[in-house]
Amino acid sequence: MAVNKDLYQQILLEIKAKNVSLVAVSKTKPAEDILSLYKCGQKDFGENYVKELIDKYAELPKDIRWHFIGHLQTNKVKFIAPFVSLIQTVDSLKLLKEINKHAHNNNRIIDCLLQIHIASEETKFGLNEQELNLIIEQFDSSTMKNINIIGLMGMASFINDEKKIRSEFAYLNSLFSKYKTSLKNNISLSVLSMGMSNDYNIAIQEGSTMVRIGSLLFGAR
């Protein structure tokens, strides 16, 4: 299936009016599809798999901002640290430390989002509120100079229940508001990444500042 450029322009108009940014999720899709959207002006792309991301990075224009949105293993951080723009799926202090180390080795500061578990499905990754609180408490910006925690990310349940999806996003937004300015550790959250093809409208109504859309733009996977 071809890239849906008309829908891309339409979504862009819709969300820009609300100051929401768009990450085009290109996992499993060929580089030519990414290039096609890039030529329409899209610069932010999201990928879930390290190997796929490094291959696409090598092949595609260097001003693309790559978002890592899959589950990230600590032993793979080094492969993406030289170029990744935003790691959206940080779910442990151990991972933060590893990102900091490789960011330092690459002489970079890497922006990160903390992934929060908001869905009812057991299988999804992410922190609960208690773990989020602990990470924010333990985060020491004076020793982790090469990390910038700039926001939160979450995925709602894969269900057809708008009320439930809405309440999950509202909950994530409440955490975002609560931890927005954590003066203690110099943390200042400005990005709330929530909303995908099926639920981005609900997510925006519930306060999203960044949506991650794949299948609507690139076709079903």
Residues that bind ligand PLP (CB under 6 A): 25, 27, 48, 69, 155, 196-198, 212-215
| Comparison of 102 and 212: residue with beta carbon closer to ligand PLP | 212
| Comparison of 25 and 37: residue with beta carbon closer to ligand PLP | 25
Shortest distance in whole angstroms from residue 2 CB to ligand PLP: 16
| Comparison of 25 and 144: residue with beta carbon closer to ligand PLP | 25
Classify 181 as helix, strand or coil.
strand
| Comparison of 69 and 103: residue with beta carbon closer to ligand PLP | 69
Shortest distance in whole angstroms from residue 180 CB to ligand PLP: 22
| Comparison of 144 and 192: residue with beta carbon closer to ligand PLP | 192
Q: Measured at CB, which residue is nearest to ligand PLP?
A: 214
Element containing residue 101 per DSSP (H, E):
helix 93-105
Shortest distance in whole angstroms from residue 24 CB to ligand PLP: 9
Q: How far apart are CA 82 and CA 79, in angstroms?
A: 7
Shortest distance in whole angstroms from residue 37 CB to ligand PLP: 14
Shortest distance in whole angstroms from residue 104 CB to ligand PLP: 27
Classify 159 as helix, strand or coil.
coil
Structure tokens at 39: 């030529």
Return the biggest CA–CA distance within the chain.
Answer: 49
**DSSP string for residues in 3-42:** --HHHHHHHHHHHHTTT-EEEEE-TTS-HHHHHHHHTTT-
Q: Specify whether the CB–CB gap between 5 and 193 falls below 8 A.
A: no
